[in-house]
A and B are shown apart, each in its own frame.
Chain A
Amino acid sequence: MGSSGYEPKNKAVKWFEDQLPILGLIHGTLGAGYKAPRNLNYWWNFGSLAGFMLVVQIITGIILVMHYTPHVDMAFRAVEHIMRDVNYGWLLRYTHSNGASMFFVIVYIHILRGMYFGSYKSPREVLWFLGLVIYLLMMATGFMGYVLPWGQMSFWGATVITNLFGAFDFYDGMGESILHLLWGGFSVDNPTLQRFFSLHYLLPFVIVGVVILHIWALHLPGSNNPLGIDAKGPGDKIPFHPYYVAKDAFGLSFFIVIFAVFIFYLPNIMGHPDNYIEANPMVTPSHIVPEWYYLPFYTILKAVPDKLLGVVAMFGSILIFFVLPWLDGSKIRSAKFRPTTAFFFWLFLANTIFLGYLGTKLPDEIMINMGGGIDALTLGRISSVFYFAYFIVIVPMVSRFETTKPVPTSIAQAVLDAKKGA
C-alpha cells in the first residue's frame, strides 16, 4: 500500500489529495502504481474473487437483515417470508446462501494456490497468517449464519458445534460453565440465536479489516508468482492496472456465470433438506451433517475415539497451517521445481477431498466390500493419519531432501525461454 507516483492533474483533486492521500493509496494498491510480476496465471485471480464475494455477502446480508427477525418463534417464518413474500427475497437469500459456498470454494483454491507455489514462505509468513485468520473468521461467520434460519440442521449443527467447547472439561463443571456461557441458557435457545445473529453481522466487517491488513502485508514484498522467484528488474513486472485489472475482470465474469448457475438452477444443492423443517429440540435428525466446507475437519473429529482429543485434533488440523512456513525447509518456493513436493501436494488434496466425502457418511457405513468390509470410520482414521503425516513428516522431509529442478534466473528470462520453446 504505497502512493507511488500518483500525480493528480485536476487542481481540485490535487487539493483533496494533498490533505487526504487516499486516491494515491488506491492507485498504489489496486491501480497502475502497483507493479505485479508479469507471469501471474489464472490461479492468481482468486484473491480478487474472494474480495468480490465478501462484498456480495455483505450487501445481500445487510438487505436480508431488513426482513429477518432473530427470535426462535419468528426466525424460521421470517426466512420463509423472505422466500415467498419479499420482492426478489428468494434471489437475495439464494445469492447469500450459495454465496457462502462460493466464497469458501474460492478461498480454498486461493489457499491451495499459496501452498502449491510456496506463497507462505519467507518473506510472506505474516501475509499467510493473516489469510488464515480470515479463513478462521469465515468459518465462525459461516457457522453462525447457518444457524439463523432456525431449521433442524441449524439447531442441531449449533448443538454439536457448541458442545465441542464442552470438551475442555479440566475441572468438574468447567465444560458445563463454558457451554452455559456460550448458550446463555441450558441448551441452544433464543439467547444463543440472538448472540449468533449479532456476531454474524459483526464478523464480516472484522474480515474486511483483516483483508486490508492482508493486502498491506502483500504489497510490501509484492505478489508471489508461478515460478516462486523474486521479481527483480522492471522487466519482471507490469502495472496492476490495466493488465491485472483486465485479467481479474475476465475471470470474474467467468465466475459469475458459474455462480448464477447455482443461484438459478441448483439453489439448494449445497443445503440440506432437513433445514426446511423448523428446529425441534426434542428430535435429532437421523443424520447430522455440517456444511460441506467443514466436512474434512468433521471426519477428523469423528475419527478420534476420545472427545477432548477429537476436538484438539479437529482444531489442530486447521491450526497446523500456521507452522507450515517452518515445516517446509526448501529454499525454492514453487512446486514447479519440486516434483516430489508437487506429487504429495496432489495426494494431500485428494486425501482432504476424501475426508470431506467420508464426513457425509455414518461411521458404521461399509465403504469397501472386502473381507469383513471396511467401514467409514476406519477409512476416516487412515485418512486423518495421512492428513497429519503430510504436515509432520512428508513436508519437512521432502522439502529438505528432494532433488529439485533448475530454477530460472529471472521471470523475464523464463518468459523469453518459454517463447523460444514455442
Chain B
Amino acid sequence: MTTNDQVEHEEEVTRRNFLYVASGVVGAVGVTSTVWPLVDQMNPSADVLALASVEVDLSSIPAGQTIKILWRGKPVFIRHRTADEIATAVADNTSDLKDPENDQLRAERPEWLIMVGVCTHLGCVPLDQRGDFNGWFCPCHGSHYDISGRIRKGPAPRNLEVPKYAFLNDTTVSIG
C-alpha cells in the first residue's frame, strides 16, 4: 500500500509541475501578445509610411546652389556641385575622416549631392556653405561637415545620411 501511495504521489507532482509550467508559458505568451500591440502602436503608422517618396525637378538648380525639400518630415539637401567642389571632395577621400567614406559612393552622379539635412548628432538642420570645410555647419553643437557631407569636426558621430534615390531622367530624381 505504501509504495502504491508513493507512486501516486509522485505522479501527482509531475502532472502538477507540467500544468504549472504549461500555464506559465501560455500566460507569458498571452501577456506578450497583448502588450505588443500596446507598444507597436507607437511605431510609424500606415499613412506615415505611405508618404515614402518624392520626385524633384533638378533643372532649375544652378551649379553652386543647394535646395532644401521636405521628405518624411525631414529636410533633404540637393546640391549642384561645381567642378572645384567635386575635386575637393574626391581629394579629401584620403584625409583623416571620422566616418571614412569615398565621395564616389556618396554621390551617384558627382555633380548632384543628395543627403538628409539632419545633423547626425542630435538632429538639427546644418547650415549651408559654412564651417571650417566650406560644407555644412550645425549651429546647435558645432559639427562641421565637408562638401561631401562627411563629418570632419565636432560631436556628430556619422556623415550626413544619403537617402535612397534614383534618377528617373537627367533632370528628375525620385527620393525614397
A residues engaging B (CB < 8 A)?
Answer: 156, 159-160, 162-164, 166, 180-189, 191, 195, 281-284, 286-288, 302, 304-307, 310, 362-364
Q: Are A186 and B72 in contact (CB under 8 A)?
A: yes
- Residue B125 lies at the interface, judged by CB distance under 8 Å to chain A: yes
Q: Which of B20-28, B89-97, B107-115, B137-145 contacts A (4 or more CB under 8 A)?
A: B137-145
Q: A159-B123, A282-B70, A284-B140 are in contact. List 8 more A-B contacts (CB 8 A).
A: A156-B124, A180-B44, A184-B42, A185-B73, A191-B48, A195-B42, A282-B75, A307-B155
What 9 A-B pairs are tightest by C-beta distance, nearest first? A187-B73, A186-B72, A163-B123, A163-B122, A284-B125, A284-B124, A160-B122, A159-B123, A185-B48
Q: Are A186 and B140 in contact (CB under 8 A)?
A: no
User: Main SS of the interface on chain A?
Assistant: loop
- Residue B100 lies at the interface, judged by CB distance under 8 Å to chain A: no
| Beta-carbon nearest neighbor of A160 in chain B | B122
- Residue B156 lies at the interface, judged by CB distance under 8 Å to chain A: yes
B146: min CB distance to chain A, Å: 19
B residues engaging A (CB < 8 A)?
Answer: 39, 42-45, 48, 68, 70, 72-75, 118, 121-125, 138-142, 155-157
| Beta-carbon nearest neighbor of B117 in chain A | A282
> Which residues on B sit within 8 Å (CB–CB) of A305?
155
| Beta-carbon nearest neighbor of B126 in chain A | A284
Residue pairs across A and B with CB atoms within 8 Å: the count is 83
Q: In the assembly, what is the distance between CA of A281 and CA of B122, in Å?
A: 14
Q: Are A184 and B70 in contact (CB under 8 A)?
A: no
Q: Are A189 and B73 in contact (CB under 8 A)?
A: yes
> Which residues on A sit within 8 Å (CB–CB) of B39?
181
Q: Are A184 and B45 in contact (CB under 8 A)?
A: yes
Q: Are B44 and A363 in contact (CB under 8 A)?
A: no
Q: In the assembly, what is the distance between CA of A156 and CA of B124, in Å?
A: 7
> Which residues on B sit within 8 Å (CB–CB) of A162?
123
| Beta-carbon nearest neighbor of B121 in chain A | A307
Q: Are A282 and B68 in contact (CB under 8 A)?
A: yes
| Beta-carbon nearest neighbor of B120 in chain A | A307
> Which residues on B sit within 8 Å (CB–CB) of A284?
124-125, 138-140
> Which residues on B sit within 8 Å (CB–CB) of A287?
139-140
Known contacts: A181-B43, A185-B44, A307-B156. The answer to whether A283 contacts B123 by CB under 8 A is: no
Instruction: Indicate which residue in B42, B125, B156 contacts A282 across the interface (CB closer than 8 Å).
Output: B125
Q: In the assembly, what is the distance between CA of A163 and CA of B141, in Å?
A: 13
Instruction: Indicate which residue in A159, A186, A187, A286 contacts B139 across the interface (CB closer than 8 Å).
Output: A286
Instruction: Indicate which residue in A159, A163, A187 contacts B72 across the interface (CB closer than 8 Å).
Output: A187
A173: min CB distance to chain B, Å: 12
> Which residues on B sit within 8 Å (CB–CB) of A156?
124, 140
Q: In the assembly, what is the distance between CA of A305 and CA of B155, in Å?
A: 5
Please list 15 pairs of residues, one from A and one from B, whose beta carbons are closer than 8 Å in the complex, sorted by A's number: A159-B123, A160-B124, A180-B43, A183-B44, A184-B42, A184-B45, A186-B48, A187-B118, A187-B123, A191-B44, A191-B45, A281-B75, A287-B139, A307-B155, A362-B142
Q: In the assembly, what is the distance between CA of A365 and CA of B45, in Å?
A: 43
Q: In the assembly, what is the distance between CA of A136 and CA of B111, in Å?
A: 49
> Which residues on B sit within 8 Å (CB–CB) of A304?
155
Q: Are B123 and A364 in contact (CB under 8 A)?
A: no
Known contacts: A281-B75, A288-B140, A362-B142. The answer to whether A160 contacts B123 by CB under 8 A is: yes
> Which residues on A sit within 8 Å (CB–CB) of B121?
163, 307
Instruction: Indicate which residue in B48, B68, B141 contacts A363 across the interface (CB closer than 8 Å).
Output: B141
| Beta-carbon nearest neighbor of A288 in chain B | B140
Q: Are B124 and A186 in contact (CB under 8 A)?
A: no
B62: min CB distance to chain A, Å: 21
Known contacts: A186-B74, A187-B74. The answer to whether A364 contacts B142 by CB under 8 A is: yes
Instruction: Indicate which residue in B42, B75, B124, B142 contacts A181 across the interface (CB closer than 8 Å).
Output: B42
Known contacts: A184-B48, A185-B44, A186-B44. The answer to whether A281 contacts B123 by CB under 8 A is: no
Q: Are A281 and B74 in contact (CB under 8 A)?
A: yes
Most buried by A among B48, B123, B139, B157: B123
B38: min CB distance to chain A, Å: 12
> Which residues on A sit within 8 Å (CB–CB) of B139?
284, 286-287
B88: min CB distance to chain A, Å: 24
| Beta-carbon nearest neighbor of B75 in chain A | A282
Most buried by B among A160, A283, A286, A364: A160
Q: In the assembly, what is the distance between CA of A363 and CA of B137, in Å?
A: 13
> Which residues on B sit within 8 Å (CB–CB) of A184?
42-45, 48
Q: In the assembly, what is the distance between CA of A50 and CA of B124, in Å?
A: 35
> Which residues on A sit within 8 Å (CB–CB) of B73?
185-189, 281
Q: Are A185 and B72 in contact (CB under 8 A)?
A: yes
Q: In the assembly, what is the distance between CA of A164 and CA of B157, in Å?
A: 13
Q: In the assembly, what is the distance between CA of A307 and CA of B138, in Å?
A: 15
> Which residues on A sit within 8 Å (CB–CB) of B68?
282
| Beta-carbon nearest neighbor of B41 in chain A | A184
Instruction: Indicate which residue in B125, B142, B157 contacts A283 across the interface (CB closer than 8 Å).
Output: B125
Q: In the assembly, what is the distance between CA of A183 and CA of B73, in Å?
A: 11
| Beta-carbon nearest neighbor of B69 in chain A | A282
B69: min CB distance to chain A, Å: 9
A283: min CB distance to chain B, Å: 7
Q: In the assembly, what is the distance between CA of A14 and CA of B121, in Å?
A: 64
Q: Are A159 and B122 in contact (CB under 8 A)?
A: yes
Instruction: Indicate which residue in A164, A185, A283 contacts B122 across the interface (CB closer than 8 Å).
Output: A164
Q: In the assembly, what is the distance between CA of A181 and CA of B72, in Å?
A: 15
> Which residues on A sit within 8 Å (CB–CB) of B42?
181-182, 184, 195
